[in-house]
Amino acid sequence: MTGTGTSAATTRNATSTWRNWAGNVSSRPTRTFSPASVEELAGAIRTAAADGLRVKAVGTGHSFTSAATTDGLLIRPELLTGIREIDRAAGTVTVAAGTPLRRLNEALAREGLSLTNMGDIMDQTVAGATSTGTHGTGRDSASIAAQIRALELVTADGSVLTCSPTENADIFASARIGLGALGVVTAITFAVEPVFLLTAREEPMPFDRVTADFDALVAENEHFEFYWFPHTGNCNTKRNNRSAGPAAPPGAVSGWVEDELLSNGLFQVACSVGRAVPRTIPAIARISSRALSARMYTDIPYKVFTSPRRVRFVEMEYALPRETAVGALREVKAMIERSPLRVSFPVEVRTAPADDIPLSTASGRETAYIAVHLYRGTPYRSYFTAVERIMTAHGGRPHWGKVHTRDAAYLAGVYPRFEEFTAVRDRLDPERLFGNPYLRRVIGG
């Protein structure tokens, strides 16, 4: 199997500004470094500390927050890629931290293996996705971080730690979703299983029906999610369940029409028109919500779970106790209907089982996620503020990589194991080498 990158490490002084995927976050580091080995990374961290520079690692920039920004040393892990080891007996794969999820999924498929669950895009690096709590939807299977069985971490003094339930267990518990606050993750060991087939059933459904039947739809399906189109009573639902086969992927033409023409090409045009002329958005929403037709297809997991996302947007997502989600969504709908807001993007609803990760949005409770989006370049603060007010009234936990305004005082109240995480941080990084303004706000100084 391929190992970590073998090209020489690269160092760049700050000559350009780093920006995230959505374009709403930027930073200008003093130095940028792309290590070709864990040893080079550890050395760079020690040098940065000696020079008085803060250190942050950044993946592909798919977070909408400033979690990875720094004016010090910015670590780019594009040379730390590839699969280190597949252990079929243990059912695990160990992969370097800078590997994009797309490359991991494709490599696993060639080996006849798969992750159990994943999010709906796969452009992020494995470390970036897990460190911010990226998740999909699942009745029984949880976030990508919940599938971690071990990880390798370079700490503030340049030490390289292997962390698992039996080695540095307290660090492992927190570092699975570590926000970049505990060190730089350099490798992750995931649980994998023999590749399987999923049958996807996508179907339009009225808002009133999907909300009335929400609990049953979650209980009856391994993976259920839906999108509600604001200014309409229409939703699009997706149910993914394991299948004995045979594989029956979408046809080349029909798949292109649904996934590229409608979901990306024409949606891009609709969003652009809506941004330029907001009064057209309700009419566009009514048309868009009826454009996608019912369909079923069967394929290997990553080809069912993930979809191309070429229309750029800004997003906020909150995790709620699952029993409160339908009521909260109805409040969002009522708020939009009585306001002058014009919302061009669907609202996404997903679920997750409880897990045991201290800063997981599903930590200790059955969870439903409500995500709101707006087209990149559209003013979003009024909409997101109104939605956030509803979410926090229900004890919501914001996604760590998506827009929110919560601080450590609030978050300590909704995460019962918050102090467990901060205690690990105090021990590993007392000088806050890996700190930045975002971390200072959300987990304290």
Cβ atoms of residues 83 and 97 within 8 Å: no
Q: Is the pLDDT of residue 6 over 60?
A: no
Q: Is the pLDDT of residue 444 over 70?
A: yes
**How far lies 97's CA from each of 185, 277, 283, 323, 428, in Å?**
6, 43, 44, 35, 20
**How far lies 378's CA from each of 254, 283, 330, 357, in Å?**
31, 18, 24, 35
Distance CA 193, CA 320 (A): 29
Q: Is the pLDDT of residue 436 over 50?
A: yes
Half-sphere CA count of 153, side-chain side, radius 13 A: 30
Distance CA 18, CA 56 (A): 12
pLDDT grade for 292, boundaries at 50, 70 and 90: confident
Q: Is the pLDDT of residue 5 over 50?
A: no
What pLDDT shows up at residue 269?
79
Residue with tokens 């996934």: 259
What pLDDT shows up at residue 361?
98
pTM: 0.93
Distance CA 250, CA 202 (A): 12
Cβ atoms of residues 435 and 443 within 8 Å: no
What pLDDT shows up at residue 11?
62
Cβ atoms of residues 283 and 344 within 8 Å: no
- Least trusted range by pLDDT, from 169-173, 306-310, 414-418: 306-310
Q: DSSP labels for 150-190?
A: EEEEE-TTS-EEEEBTTBSHHHHHHHTT-TTSS-EEEEEEE
Cβ atoms of residues 67 and 401 within 8 Å: yes
What pLDDT shows up at residue 263?
63
Question: Per DSSP, what are the bridge partners of residue 145?
Answer: none
pLDDT per position as a tens digit, 344-400: 999 999 999 999 999 999 999 999 999 999 999 999 999 999 999 999 999 999 999
Q: Are strands 193-194 and 397-398 parallel, antiparallel or unpaired?
A: unpaired
Distance CA 312, CA 337 (A): 25
Distance CA 435, CA 430 (A): 10
Segments in 318-379 forming alpha helices (H): 325-338
Cβ atoms of residues 155 and 41 within 8 Å: no
pLDDT per position as a tens digit, 147-178: 999 999 999 999 999 999 999 999 999 999 99
Average pLDDT over residues 192-207: 97
Q: DSSP labels for 249-262?
A: PPPHHHHHIIIIII
Segments in 339-436 forming alpha helices (H): 381-393, 408-414, 418-428
Distance CA 105, CA 124 (A): 12
Question: What letter represents residue 324's amino acid?
Answer: T
Cβ atoms of residues 212 and 164 within 8 Å: no
Question: Per DSSP, what are the bridge partners of residue 352?
Answer: 367
Distance CA 188, CA 97 (A): 6
What pLDDT shows up at residue 9?
67
Q: Which residue has the higher pLDDT, 260 or 171?
A: 171
Q: Is the pLDDT of residue 310 over 90?
A: no
Is the preceding peptide bond at 246 cis, omega within 30 degrees of 0?
yes
**Mean pLDDT, rounded, of the chain:** 93
- In this structure, how many other beta carbons lie within 10 angstroms of the beta carbon of residue 245? 11
Average pLDDT over residues 312-316: 94
Name the nearest CA neighbour of 130 among 111, 158, 103, 149: 149
pLDDT per position as a tens digit, 10-51: 665 545 899 999 999 999 999 999 999 999 999 999 999 999
- Of all residues in the chain, the percent with pLDDT exceeding 70 is 93
Q: Is the pLDDT of residue 3 over 50?
A: no
